[in-house]
């Protein structure tokens, strides 16, 4: 089961393996959307990029918020309005293709570690580098 904290939202992913999901550590303290700071507590977020057709909501309803990500593209974070869990996000250019699933909502987040990072030059001093970035 993949779910929010209170388990009132559940979803399925149809992937042959979690390796089919691209999981980067993304952000950067100068360019990241404020949603990373608010949702993850840092200017980095750990999400898995999955094809839209691999995601299926099986229980509950998500709330959506439209936010400017700082580059004149709207970001659509979706969350559970009861427990506040951040479930996924997408931006306009990929809205018909992909979803960025919050790794913490997976059954086994340890199974999908970051395989790279972006905005590397903006990494905070205390953040270690991801090997193989």
Q: Which residue has the tokens 């949603």?
A: 35
Residue 7 inside a domain? The answer is: yes
Residue 25 inside a domain? The answer is: yes
Residue 127 inside a domain? The answer is: no
Which domain does 41 fall in, by range?
A: 2-122
Residue 132 inside a domain? The answer is: no
pLDDT tens digits, 14-41 = 988 767 787 766 654 334 556 566 667 6
What pLDDT score was predicted for residue 28?
43
If you ran DSSP here, which 8-state letter would residue 22 be given? B
Cα 86 from chain centre: 8
- Judged on CB neighbours under 10 Å (0-12, 13-18, 19+), 124 is exposed
Q: Report yes or no: 24 and 117 within 8 Å, Cβ to Cβ.
A: yes
The domain total for the chain is: 1
pLDDT tens digits, 72-96 = 778 888 999 999 999 998 888 889 9
Residue 108 inside a domain? The answer is: yes
Residue 42 inside a domain? The answer is: yes
- Judged on CB neighbours under 10 Å (0-12, 13-18, 19+), 1 is exposed
What pLDDT score was predicted for residue 29?
38
pLDDT tens digits, 113-126 = 777 666 566 666 77
Residue 128 inside a domain? The answer is: no
| Helix (H) / strand (E) containing 92 | none
Whether the predicted pLDDT of 57 surpasses 80: yes
Whether the predicted pLDDT of 69 surpasses 80: no
| Choice among 44-48, 102-106, 121-125, 127-131 with the minimum mean pLDDT | 121-125
Tokens of 115: 């395989």
What pLDDT score was predicted for residue 125?
73
What pLDDT score was predicted for residue 17?
78
Residue 93 inside a domain? The answer is: yes
CATH number of the domain enclosing 42:
2.170.150.70
Q: On the CB side of 29, how many CA atoms lie within 13 Å of its CA?
A: 8
């Amino acid at each position: 089961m993949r779910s929010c904290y209170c388990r009132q939202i559940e979803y399925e992913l149809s992937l042959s393996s979690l390796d089919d999901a691209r999981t980067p550590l993304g952000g950067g303290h100068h360019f990241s959307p404020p949603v990373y700071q608010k949702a993850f507590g840092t200017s980095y977020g750990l999400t898995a990029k999955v094809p839209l057709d691999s995601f299926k909501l099986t229980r509950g309803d998500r709330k959506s918020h439209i936010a400017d990500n700082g580059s004149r593209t709207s970001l659509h974070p979706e969350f559970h309005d009861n427990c506040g869990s951040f479930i996924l996000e997408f931006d306009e250019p990929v809205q018909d293709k992909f979803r960025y699933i919050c790794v913490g909502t997976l059954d086994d987040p340890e199974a999908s570690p970051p395989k790279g990072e972006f905005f590397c030059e903006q990494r905070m001093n205390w953040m270690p580098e991801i090997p193989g970035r």
